[in-house]
Structure 1
Amino acid sequence: MDLTGKIAVVTGGRRGIGKAIAKSLHAAGARVAIADLDKAEAHDVGKACGGYGTKVDVTNEADIAHFLTGVERKMGPVDIFVSNAGVARSDGPTYMAAGAPNAAWELSWQVNVMSSVYAARHVVPGMIKRGQGIFMIVASAAGLLNQMGSAPYSCTKHAAVSFAESLSIAHAHQGLRVLCICPQGVQTDLIQGAETSLKAVGAILQPEDVATAMMAALDDGRSYVFPHPETLDYFQSRAADPDKWLQRMGQARQMLAAKTGRQM
């Protein structure tokens, strides 16, 4: 897709999937602004992608609003917003689904869900007014399936997928394109400690693989992006027989616990 002249924003864009997406958007012609907790790295990536970057706390709506106002003033109206910032907290006894402390649940909710809600409040109205715009949420295959050993991550990524669907259902007819990106394991800081369980269901990809899949989806009009093609097969299997899916997931968890020698 030719994105010449488009203005894009990527949250959590200083490294990993966010950085790879920013670079791909810029290679297609867009100028990219980066929001991240690390101001220096955000600045470097943004500058390299024809824009700028700064420190933004995506759990703070006022912070997001201030950043977006700055982007529009310095670069122009936002054509593409990529809500990529995410956290995977495993505090507490992960072998208990409710074992994580309240702080881990709250942070997961704020970063993985509400940051997208805050952003949408401030960019979607302008996109609708102009009759076009792209809003992407980097969710996870865990949002369609589940992630063993991390209930806060799985629950909030399910909510992220649902919010992406809500945006599309409500605003697609007004010119808003919504992409929901659902990778399995990707070689980033987020998967540290979960490599064994992730490898059990598919290859661990590089961030650039996710960006490539995202650009392909932009070209062919898809809303869901599956960097791991098998994710769709798993999702369809779950839908076909939900009870059997739960049973198999439980068995897989027990097998992985036995293989790794640790409780999950």
Structure 2
Amino acid sequence: MQFEGATAIVTGAGQGIGAALARALAARGARVLVCDLSEDLAKRMADEVGGVPFHGDLCDPAVIESLVGTARAQFGSIDMLVSNAGFALGEPDGPTSQSDVHWQTSWDLHVMAHLRASRLLLPDMRARGFGVLVNVASAAGVLSQIGDAAYSATKHAAVSLAQSLAIEHSAEGIQVSVVCPLYVATPLLGYKGTEGDRPDRVIDPTEVAEATLRGIEEARFMIYPHPEAQTYFKHRAADSDRWIAGMQRLRARVTEQTDGSDPASIHRFI
């Protein structure tokens, strides 16, 4: 994959990992459409990287159609989709305590937004015999997120969708990658910037961006910015009962010392 002169859509690009990805792509010569729910954040980041701003709620299929239409009007063909937009709110009292609206929003943003954008972009990518589809999921998509079942379930679905896209379309020149970081110093975990004390394994968004682009260059499907996440995944696959028992012990520690409904509090125990 050559980034120089490539065109890319990056969602959730106003801050955090998405902003780091937009900067890294632009630094390598790519033209970037910066998409964010916030109009102000989208414009600020687009101005910074010399890109195109777009804002809107990606849970709405009409917004995704407008997103792709704007990218095509600005760039012509689209070489890369990086679906990074996401959110986590936690749950007050276990998996059943969050509303259907919360679950549906998680599904629409973490899974359907990528599917709907891919559906619109794939015909042209297949005709050209080239395209890159990247989903920034989470290590929760191969492990579990204590305190937010909707996040875990939909990130698992995002990984599964990426697998299906890779299986179905790789022979047509479509490269698919899924990114599964553990904890990253973003607003999702309560970090407003990259400065300040944090646990060693809470990494900077720029590290995720660099690992992602390196993985794309190497045409890797699974990209682990935290290498230990792959080791944890192997343990989970090898002995699920032991893995669940370990996670139950971790949950007990978290709920004893923090509000266990807040996913941002979990990272202090990794």
* Residue 241 of structure 1: aligned partner: 239
1:178 maps onto 2:168 in alignment: no
Structure-2 residue corresponding to 1:87: 87
Q: Which moved more, 1:163-172 or 1:49-58?
A: 49-58
Letter in 1 for 2:2: D
Q: Secondary structure at the match of 1:180?
A: strand
SS at match of 2:225: coil
Alpha-carbon offset, residue 262 of structure 1: 4.1
Q: Is the 8 A contact 1:141 1:183 kept in 2?
A: yes
Identity of aligned residues (%): 38
Indicate yes or no: 2:65 matched with 1:65.
yes
Give me the whole-angstrom Cα distance separating, in 2, the residues matched to 1:132 and 1:161.
21
Count of residue pairs brought into register by the alignment: 255
Contact 2:180/2:225 (8 A) holds in 1: yes
Q: Which residue number corresponds to residue 50 of structure 2?
A: 50
Structure 1 position 151 matched with structure 2 position 149: yes
Match of 1:139, as an amino acid? A
Match of 2:4 in 1: 4
Name 2:194's counterpart in structure 1: none
**How do 1:1-264 and structure 2 match up within 5 A?**
2-91=2-91, 93-94=92-93, 96-192=94-190, 203-258=201-256, 260-263=257-260
Cα deviations across residues 134-175 of structure 1 (Å, max 9, x unaligned)? Answer: 110010000000000111111111011111111101101111
Gaps of 5+ in 1: 194-198
> TM-score if structure 2 supplies the norm length?
0.90
Q: CA RMSD in A?
A: 1.7
SS at 1:98's partner residue? helix
- Aligned equivalents of 1:226, 1:13: Cα separation in 2: 20
Q: Deviations over 1:185-225 (max 9, x none)?
A: 111111239xxxxx89x711111010010111122221111
Task: Read off the aligned partner of 2:157 and give its amino acid letter.
Answer: A
Instruction: Note if contact 2:133-2:177 (Cα within 8 Å) is conserved in structure 1.
Output: yes
Distance 1:244 1:208, change over 3 A: same
What is the distance in 1 between the residues matched to 2:122 and 2:208?
24
CA change 1:64–1:252 in 2 (3 A) is same
Q: Which amino acid aligns with 1:26?
A: A
**CA pair 251-42 structure 1, distance change in 2 beyond 3 A:** same
Shift of 1:125: 1.6
Is the Cα contact below 8 Å between 2:2 and 2:217 reproduced in 1? no
Do 1:89 and 1:152's aligned partners in 2 also have CA atoms closer than 8 Å? Answer: no
Q: Which amino acid is 2:124 matched to? A: G
TM-fit CA distance, 1:247: 1.4
Q: Distance in 1 between matches of 2:152 and 2:76?
A: 36
Distance 1:122 1:261 in 2: 43
Which TM-score applies when normalising by structure 1? 0.92
Distance 1:25 1:99, change over 3 A: same
Q: Does the 8 Å CA contact 2:9/2:34 hold for their aligned counterparts?
A: yes
CA contact (8 A) 1:168 1:177 kept: yes
Answer with 57-66 or 44-53: which moved more: 44-53
Aligned residue identity for 1:87 = F
DSSP 3-state at the match of 2:181: coil
Alpha-carbon shift at residue 232 of structure 1 (Å)? 0.4
Do the aligned residues in 2 keep the contact of 1:89 with 1:108 (CA within 8 Å)? Answer: no
Distance 2:54 2:102 in 1: 25
- CA drift of 1:57 comes to 1.6
Structure 1 distance, partners of 2:125, 2:260, is: 47
